[in-house]
Structure 1
Amino acid sequence: MKYLNDYIKHFFLGCFILLFYSCAEAQKPSPNTSKLYFPSTESSLWDKQSAAELGWDGVKFAEFLAWLPTQDTRAFIILKDGKIVIEEYWGDKLTGVGKMDENSYWYWASAGKTLTATLVGIAENKKLLNTTDRTQKYLGEGWTSLTNSQERDIRLIHQLIMTTGLDDGVANQDDTSPSSLVFLAEPGKRWAYHNAPYTLLEQVVQNASGQSFQNFFTENLGGKIGMKGFWQKTGENNVFYSDARSFARFGLLLLADGNWDGNQIWSGDFFDELSQSSQSLNRSYGYLTWLNGKSSYMVPQSQTIYPGMLVPNAPADMYQAMGKNGQFLMVIPSEGLVIVRMGGAGDNSLVPFLLIRDIWERLGPVIGKY
């Protein structure tokens, strides 16, 4: 009874904190979904519109496009209200054989976290799980090296928002074995970018659904919007690979609040909250998704809280799936924009913030607002 009372107390306190910050910081505008265009799920046909039609600065846009390949960009797409404004490819395919094109696959790296969060949300929509459930319900007792009492405190929501309290300072942050999942703090009290607890959400969905993660994705999301791609074990991580257009399709579905040309793929509070501050520690983090427009942010492998927006020269309502080497999916509801960037990057950071800032330093003047 004491545990239940403490949980209820912390739950309502957390709700109050999130309500306070959601009122104080930039919110996600609702896009005008009635004017969105959706490409065919059966063919490669995809309507286009020009930057000139949008009143963008043509000279600055040409300079921006010339700069992108100097940063080892392999694929770049901008959608405006669902239509392609620009689609460019540079360099060699991931295999090293042939040149990049619209059919070339590339890795998402940690940008796949947003896709994983989406699949967890769909599983909740289907009443296969609830994010307030204890993780033990799906992984069993002993999935960590914690005491049973400590382990029972970890819930699915903590894995979604990176607040499990498990130690991210272990020798291998990607190792999901119990010996590498050790106690550092109470769940909800510390934010840390930790791959292992996130990766285990795949097993949660599989155990809850009775399907492989790949089949669950294809049946409930990919197959419904013409999105290609596959999950593959890379080291100890489960990484998603797809072509750039599939990355853009996923972004368009996010922009459309889960409604693909009249087919409602998802709905509910989970998806309203996915792109909002999920806790008060790192306000620029939602459900495995990075947020702009907040008053402060944290970065992987650091406990420092930095003041200001994550990407100061980008739209405040932008939210992003972001991965190593600059795998970016940017969704901007106020502008009806979806932006995809795939490729390499000069630094070796888990999430290359400097690159996305460099992109917006050059793209903002093209659009003429930022």
Structure 2
Amino acid sequence: MKKIITFLLAMVLISCSSDETSTSTIPEEEMYFPPIGSTNWETKTIQSLNWNQSEVQPLLDYLELKNTKSFIILHNGKIVMENYFNGHTATTPWYWASAGKTLTATVTGIAEQEGFLNINNKVSDYLGTGWTSAPLIKENLITNKHLLTMTSGLNDAPGDDVSPANLQYVANAGTRWAYHNVYVKLQDVVAASTGQTWTNYFNTKLRDKIGMTGGSWIQNGGLSVYWSTTRNMARFGLLALNKGKWKNTQVVPQVYMENASATSQNINLAYGYLWWLNGKASYHMPQSQIQLNGSLIPSGPNDMYCALGKNDQKIYVIPSRKLVIIRMGDAADGSNFALSDFDEVLWQKINAVIN
């Protein structure tokens, strides 16, 4: 009898061990990527994620109240919410505004990987001298990385015009953070170094590889502004979430994407390579030299990084939750350059749904 009991106990232990092993080896859901050249996009439900369905309508009501045109939430690549307001549709293009800065940063990383440029080299190596009105010795301090990190030292007061006369010396490169459209000169660097037009290189190396069909760069006041559908913006956010890899293709170097979404200098801790970073100890607002303590968007996840554009164009990327969230539309309240009060309240509404 004693031998039988011992045998039965051993069998129970083996069974329990087997159950634990089988549970622990259940594979995680693979990240989903919508097919290139297709409008098909897999979805999942609020219920399947155990989110709070009762808070969805208050979120949608707030979005509509705040002049939103489109809103998408992706979880692990699949669409959980996709909503359009005020006559906007899935096929209607809208401008990214400064959220498109991240497109420029991304393509710069591709060009570096292909050996056309080095972000640590000075801009004048590619554009020649005289691309600013700064003294030559000061102009030659400005590297491509300074443009990526908003630390060129050039005067941000004259506005959007990036002609040499308007690019004036204020401080040595790397010593002052200022939100400035001089970053657009990186598009000229890419064009000069590759021997292609910016649009052609962008289309072949980024847009077409992830299926951002139909988008285009449109000139607006001397700057190129990207226009596309909301789903195209979501595709780019998904590429960022997966560290530059689209399904089995590494479109952008992973290390570059990791650097782009991390603090890039010690002045504005909440800024990477034209990406805004949440969860840092302090941050600077656009058009301000004042350091503000605390997180950029206190209600948002600490690991979130964002592409933020004028009038509340948003890409939120949250690796810990496998989320990409897109908002396009008119300004929620007053006109703003990037961050606005809208971000904080919107995240309170999103948290009510996803937590």
Q: Same fold (TM over 0.5)?
A: yes
Identical-residue share of aligned pairs (%) = 43
Q: Which one of the candidate residues 259, 266, 274 is aligned to 1:288?
A: 274
Q: Count the aligned residue pairs.
A: 327
CA contact (8 A) 2:46 2:80 kept: yes
CA contact (8 A) 2:230 2:328 kept: yes
CA contact (8 A) 1:33 1:256 kept: no
Q: Which residue number corresponds to residue 335 of structure 1?
A: 321
Structure 1 residue 289: Cα displacement: 0.6
For the residue of structure 1 that corresponds to 2:224, the secondary structure is strand
Q: Which residue number corresponds to residue 227 of structure 1?
A: 212
Alignment deviations for residues 98-137 of structure 1 (CA, whole Å, 9 cap, x no partner): x311111000000000111001011101110000111001
One-letter amino acid of the structure 2 residue matched with residue 200 of structure 1:
K
Q: Distance in 1 between matches of 2:37 and 2:223?
A: 31
Q: Which residue number corresponds to residue 344 of structure 1?
A: 330
Q: Which residue number corresponds to residue 96 of structure 1?
A: none
Alignment deviations for residues 261-291 of structure 1 (CA, whole Å, 9 cap, x no partner): 1111121432220000001110000000100
Alignment deviations for residues 279-337 of structure 1 (CA, whole Å, 9 cap, x no partner): 11100000001000100000011111000000001110000000011100010000000
Q: Which residue number corresponds to residue 261 of structure 2?
A: 275
1:218 aligns to 2:203 (yes or no): yes
Q: Which residue number corresponds to residue 146 of structure 2?
A: 158
One-letter amino acid of the structure 1 residue matched with residue 242 of structure 2:
A
**Considering only CA atoms, is the larger Rg found in Structure 1 or Structure 2?**
2
Q: Distance in 1 between matches of 2:38 and 2:30?
A: 21
Q: Which residue number corresponds to residue 352 of structure 2?
A: 365
Alignment deviations for residues 210-257 of structure 1 (CA, whole Å, 9 cap, x no partner): 111111111101111111211111112210000000000000011111
One-letter amino acid of the structure 2 residue matched with residue 132 of structure 1:
N
Q: Distance in 2 between matches of 1:151 and 1:275?
A: 27
One-letter amino acid of the structure 1 residue matched with residue 49 of structure 2:
L
Q: Distance in 2 between matches of 1:283 and 1:223?
A: 33
TM-score with structure 1 setting the length = 0.86
For the residue of structure 2 that corresponds to 1:286, the secondary structure is coil
Q: Which residue number corresponds to residue 198 of structure 1?
A: 183
Unaligned runs of 5+ in 2: 1-26
Counterparts of residues 77-116 of structure 1 (less than 5 Å): 77-91=72-86, 99-116=87-104
CA contact (8 A) 1:325 1:352 kept: no
Q: Distance in 1 between matches of 2:222 and 2:93?
A: 20
Q: Which residue number corresponds to residue 53 of structure 2?
A: 58
TM-score with structure 2 setting the length = 0.90
Q: Which residue number corresponds to residue 171 of structure 2?
A: 185
Q: Which residue number corresponds to residue 176 of structure 1?
A: 162
Unaligned runs of 5+ in 1: 1-31, 92-98
Q: Distance in 1 between matches of 2:255 and 2:33?
A: 24
Q: Distance in 2 between matches of 1:108 and 1:71?
A: 17
Counterparts of residues 116-131 of structure 1 (less than 5 Å): 116-131=104-119
For the residue of structure 1 that corresponds to 2:117, the secondary structure is coil
| Counterparts in 2 of 1:68 and 1:268: CA distance versus 1, 3 Å | closer
Q: Return structure 1 stretches of 4+ with deviation > 4 angstroms.
A: none
Q: Distance in 1 between matches of 2:134 and 2:61?
A: 52
